[in-house]
Structure 1
Amino acid sequence: MGGRNRLRQRRVVKGQPVSVDQAARQIVAVGRVLYERGLVAATEGNMSVRLAGNRFLTTPSGLCKGRLRDHDVVTVDALGKKRGGHGNPSSEIKMHLAIYEERPDILAIVHAHPPIATGFAVAGVPLAGCVLPEIILTVGSVPLTEYGTPSTDELPARIRGAARSHDAFLLKNHGAVASGSGLWDACHKMEMIESFAKIVLAARQLGRVEALSSADVDKLLALGGVNRPAAGCGGCVTCEIGRA
């Protein structure tokens, strides 16, 4: 049970906010990766980075994330008010700010529409079972939040519970969100979410998704598993974590 108790604790991410220039360069580079790997299309998706002084750097609204330039990014305060940059901040900035409020330990957020993972979100299926060691060790379970209308106050309200205890989650009928110790960390988690979704889909097509045993899960948690599975693990009954 020691591992399971650790699983209930929020992971503390160590790190310091980067400079505006560094954050801008990271947003441009990560946006290109997300676009080239098909995790966003056209003007989809958004990113943000926590800066010093309770400020945040975010992607602009209406621009392709694969073609951003350093000067395209926008600075906002903790209320989402624009404080610098060209254009308007991402229409989803309210969701980002809600996550930062719930998770003072994270420094960056990526919201994307990875096709297979978003398919799970549309089907109402979480990616929360204890299936792959790499996911347990690096991302943790990926629960599914209730639907909230994008760009409204509904969405931040619907994701707070998942954001509080998970580094990644699916947005019902919408997409996926990943947070991390930096923008590249969040980007890598988004890539892993999509890879995980592809593997689970393939296993379902083959007729069976076989979860790890409770003993194997405990061993992984002892190595530093990220967070607890969601209360509803999509049929996985490996353990009772999350029901207490």
Structure 2
Amino acid sequence: MTDETDVRTQVVAAAQAMAAAGLVVGTAGNVSGRDGDGTIWLTPSSLPYDQVTETNLAAVDENGNLVPDTGRPSTEKAMHLACYRAFPEVGGVVHCHPVHASMFAVTHQPIPAVIEEVIVYLGGDVPVADYRPTGSDELGAEVVRHLAERSGVLMANHGMLCVGRSPDHALHAAMVAEHTARIMWGARRLADPVDLPEKARTDFAAAYAYLRHQTWVAG
């Protein structure tokens, strides 16, 4: 969590980088960040990312109440709020629909952690949350259920959500997950992918846990 100006700048930068990387199409997806007083800044609803600025972001308090004179928040506001309420160390949330990760989401398959960086940055395999209606409190609760030891979760028949110590950190997790999903999609055409050794998985998972619980708060 950082000051208000920094968070707003990070939300805009992450949103535009997310679009530029092809993780969303049109106005799909959303990005948020939490500032030092607990205010959540979110990308506004139905606005193209190249038009998102610090002045038209939406803001809500910790109870979800709209801050006066700010933009209209995304319909996925409840999902973002659920992440912040459940995890005090989280300072940024990215919701996107990347092509390869979404292939896993619509087939209800987790993205396997067959590459070391997936465990370091995401905690392990990216799990699949059960289907819940878009924008619902139920979706927020279901997503949070999978994020205690992970930075990313697939939403069945929907897309992906990632958390981090800041918006740009959450975006990086999303990009690692999508990169891995693309590798897995191709690798399975060649042969059955080979898992990492169990000791490597355990060691890198411990590194993820340490970083999340010891460094994210200072993010």
Q: TM-score, normalised by structure 1?
A: 0.81
- Residue 157 in structure 1 maps to residue 141 in structure 2: yes
- The one-letter code matched in structure 1 to 2:109 is V
User: Structure 1, residues 71-113: CA drift from partner, whole Å, max 9, x if none?
Assistant: 1101101121111344311111101111111111111111111
Superposed, which structure 2 residues align to 1:87-236 within 5 Å? 87-127=71-111, 129-141=112-124, 142-221=126-205, 224-226=207-209
- Equivalence for 2:66: 82
Greater CA radius of gyration, 1 or 2? 1
Which one of the candidate residues 23, 32, 35 is aligned to 1:48? 32
Query: Contact conserved, 2:121 with 2:151, CA < 8 A, in 1?
Result: no
The 5 A counterparts of 1:26-37 are 26-37=10-21
Give the letter aligned to residue 133 of structure 1. E
More helix by share: 2
Q: CA deviation at 1:219?
A: 4.1
Q: How does 1:232-243 map onto structure 2 within 5 Å? A: none
Q: 2: distance between equivalents of 1:219 and 1:156?
A: 30
- CA separation in 1, counterparts of 2:205 and 2:93? 24
| Dislocated runs of 4+, deviation >6 Å | none
Structure-2 separation of matches of 1:40 and 1:130 = 23
Contact 1:46 1:65 in 2 (8 A): no
Q: Deviations over 1:12-71 (max 9, x none)?
A: xxxxx2222222221221111111110011111111111222321111111122431111
- SS state of the match for residue 72, structure 1? coil
Query: Structure 2: which 5+ runs fail to align?
Result: 211-219
Rounded Cα–Cα distance in structure 2 between residues aligned with 1:216 and 1:75: 41
Give the % identical residues. 30
**Aligned AA for 2:9?**
R
Q: State the shift of 1:152 in Å.
A: 1.7
Q: Give distance in 2, aligned partners of 1:100 and 1:162.
A: 14
Q: Contact 1:146/1:158 (CA < 8 Å) preserved in 2?
A: yes
- What 5-or-longer segments of structure 1 have no aligned partner? 1-16, 228-244
**Amino acid corresponding to residue 108 of structure 2 in structure 1:** G
The 8 Å contact of residues 58 and 70 in structure 2, kept in 1 or not, is answered as: yes
Alignment root-mean-square deviation, CA: 1.6
